């Protein structure tokens, strides 16, 4: 449950603001840091709150990425997927996983969306490193990412949205949500 007062920080994450100087013309950035008790491992991919945030951001991003993908984007996603496959054998999946999803964000050509992805993906990378997925789960992720690349390459926004939803949370209620977005 998220606390409402200043002292009541979230049990799942603590949000903090890093403000950049106005002279540099940079925008402050919100980032999430896990608030996990000593000796406790964070839930894989950050639990329900992170999945909910990813669904809100990554479903429209997948749709946008598939609308008018550039060949360079498709090539990048294919290379990132190949890197994920290679890294999965070494147990170093976090970096290539993040690179793949940032590629989807970049494909939208929306720098604000890319910044949102960046915040989420830092948390995801930390979660993957802290609690490495099983080889069975990794195989599923690789298959899901492959479908996503194929839907983006086919310029299939609806298919890309469904593929992303199945990757993020394959539960039936999200399948219905995506079907309704159709």
Q: Give the pLDDT confidence score for residue 29 in this predicted structure.
A: 34
Q: Give the pLDDT confidence score for residue 103 in this predicted structure.
A: 95
Q: Report the CATH number of the 43-181 domain.
A: 1.20.120.530
Q: Give the pLDDT confidence score for residue 10 in this predicted structure.
A: 28
Q: What is the pTM of this model?
A: 0.69
Q: Enumerate the domain spans of the chain.
A: 43-181
Between the alpha carbon of residue 156 and those of residues 115, 125, 152, 153, 159, the distances in Å are 24, 28, 6, 8, 5
Query: Which string of DSSP letters, residue by residue, matches 6-56?
Result: SS---SSEEEEEEPPPGGGTPPPEEEEEE---TTPPPPGGGHHHHHHHHHH
What is the mean pLDDT of each successive set of 10 residues along the chain, which is 182 residues long? 31 25 31 41 56 88 95 96 92 91 94 90 88 89 95 96 86 58 64
Q: Give the pLDDT confidence score for residue 112 in this predicted structure.
A: 92
């Amino acid at each position: 449950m998220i606390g409402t007062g200043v002292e009541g920080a979230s049990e799942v994450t603590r949000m903090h603001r890093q403000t950049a100087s106005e002279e540099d013309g940079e925008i402050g950035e919100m980032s999430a840091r896990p608030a996990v008790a000593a000796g406790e491992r964070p839930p894989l991919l950050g639990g329900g709150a992170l999945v909910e945030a990813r669904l809100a951001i990554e479903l429209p991003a997948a749709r946008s990425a598939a609308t008018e993908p550039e060949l360079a984007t498709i090539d990048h996603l294919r290379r990132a997927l190949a890197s994920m496959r290679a890294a999965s054998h070494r147990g170093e999946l976090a970096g290539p996983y993040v690179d793949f999803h940032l590629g989807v964000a970049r494909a939208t050509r929306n720098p604000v969306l890319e910044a949102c992805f960046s915040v989420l993906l830092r948390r995801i990378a930390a979660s993957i490193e802290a609690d490495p997925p099983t080889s069975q789960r990794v195989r599923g992720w690789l298959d899901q990412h492959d479908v996503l690349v194929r839907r983006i390459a086919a310029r299939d926004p609806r298919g890309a949205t469904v593929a992303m939803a199945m990757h993020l949370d394959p539960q039936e209620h999200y399948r219905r949500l995506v079907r309704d977005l159709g």
